[in-house]
């Protein structure tokens, strides 16, 4: 394992993505159609934490009897517990900027998306994911479980306010001296068949830092997680129409996964790998 570049980690935190919001046409009840709302959203954050102004912008144009606000992209309901940057990567945001999202106040898709009543729901989901990542990474979640309520609040506020320095200072104190046992990675796949287009497929398995005495690389990991999706079964080469993105970057397949975990992980300590099929 090599050294950690904290300047790069901070740059990852400071990344943003352009998004345009429009109210679903069938939910517009006013004579005047609302204008689109353009926003630059933090990659590390979550939709429920940064979309209060979206509700304010569109609510007066929507039905009086509202359900919980939710979003879709080209008819696919968005899972709010995934970081915004991951959603952007999964739906080809780089090639279709800004990413177009449709706002809904009715018909919440409970079969595809968990309900999110308030920020406390997001906080609970975040800490559950964080505990899972830490347990995978270090073999114990004691460092998180032992945090006081005050420390937990400071940690969460750093996520909500997208403050890299605050987050990294807490993270350094909690995890800097611990040995990595497994690499917390989630691979998300979009565009590979009707059964996956609507409900995104997530693959998560324990990833060892080394394979046969060699560093686990992005290539060796993807051959383990998604061999039939990313690589041609005959040539064993990566398919030309498949893009693998980590924090919006198309990294070399030779990149060590430990490096990705230390530099490209989201706030919940998971590395999210977006595997996208392009025409």
CATH number assigned to the domain comprising residue 203: 3.10.20.90
Which of 74, 104, 134 is where one domain is finished? 104
78: pLDDT strictly greater than 50: yes
CB atoms within 10 A of CB 197: 15
Q: Are 162 and 13 in contact (CB under 8 A)?
A: yes
In the chain, the number of structural domains is 3
C-beta neighbour count of 185 within 10 angstroms: 26
Instruction: Look at residue 49 in the predicted model and tell me its pLDDT.
Output: 95
The Cα 193–Cα 270 span in angstroms is 26
Strands 185-190 and 271-277: parallel
* Residue of 200 and 98 predicted with greater confidence: 98
Q: Using CB atoms within 10 A of its CB, is residue 16 exposed (0-12), middle (13-18) or buried (19+)?
A: middle
- Residue 25 DSSP one-character state: G
The pLDDT tens digits of the residues spanning 214-225 come to 999 999 999 999
Nearest CA among 267, 277, 279, 278 for reference residue 85:
267
Give the rounded distance of the alpha carbon of 209 from its chain centre: 22
Q: For residue 183, is pLDDT > 90?
A: yes
pLDDT on residue 128: 95
CA-based angle 29:84:111, to the nearest 5? 60
Are residues 219 and 266 both part of a single domain? yes
Residue 131 token pair: 């505990």
pLDDT bracket for residue 94 (50, 70, 90):
low
Q: Please write the tens of the pLDDT for every residue from 189-211.
A: 987 765 444 356 889 998 999 99
Confirm whether 253 is domain-assigned: yes
The reply to whether 137 and 211 lie within a common domain is no
């Amino acid at each position: 394992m090599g050294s950690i570049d904290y300047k790069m980690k901070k740059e990852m935190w400071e990344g943003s993505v352009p998004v345009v919001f429009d109210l679903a046409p069938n939910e517009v009840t006013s004579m005047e159609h609302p204008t689109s709302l353009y926003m630059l959203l933090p990659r590390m954050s979550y939709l429920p934490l940064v979309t209060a102004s979206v509700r304010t912008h569109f609510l007066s144009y929507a039905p009086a009897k509202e359900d919980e606000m939710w979003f879709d992209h080209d008819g696919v309901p968005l899972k709010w517990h995934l970081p915004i940057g991951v959603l952007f990567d999964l739906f080809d945001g780089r090639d279709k900027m800004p990413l177009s999202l449709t706002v809904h106040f009715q018909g919440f898709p409970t079969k595809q998306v968990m309900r999110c009543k308030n920020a406390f729901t997001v906080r609970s989901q975040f800490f559950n994911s964080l505990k899972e990542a830490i347990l995978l990474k270090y073999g114990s979640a004691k460092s998180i479980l032992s945090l006081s309520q005050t420390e937990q609040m400071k940690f969460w506020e750093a996520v909500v306010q997208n403050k890299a320095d605050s987050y990294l200072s807490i993270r350094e104190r909690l995890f800097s001296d611990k040995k990595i046992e497994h690499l917390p990675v989630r691979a998300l796949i979009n565009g590979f068949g009707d059964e996956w287009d609507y409900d995104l497929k997530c693959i998560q398995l324990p990833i060892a830092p080394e394979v046969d005495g060699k560093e686990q690389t992005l290539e060796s990991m993807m051959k383990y997680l998604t061999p039939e999706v990313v690589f041609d079964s005959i040539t064993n080469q990566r398919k030309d129409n498949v893009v693998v993105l980590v924090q919006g970057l198309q990294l070399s397949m030779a990149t060590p996964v430990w490096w990705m975990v230390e530099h490209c992980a989201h706030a919940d300590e998971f590395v999210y790998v977006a595997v996208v099929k392009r025409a």
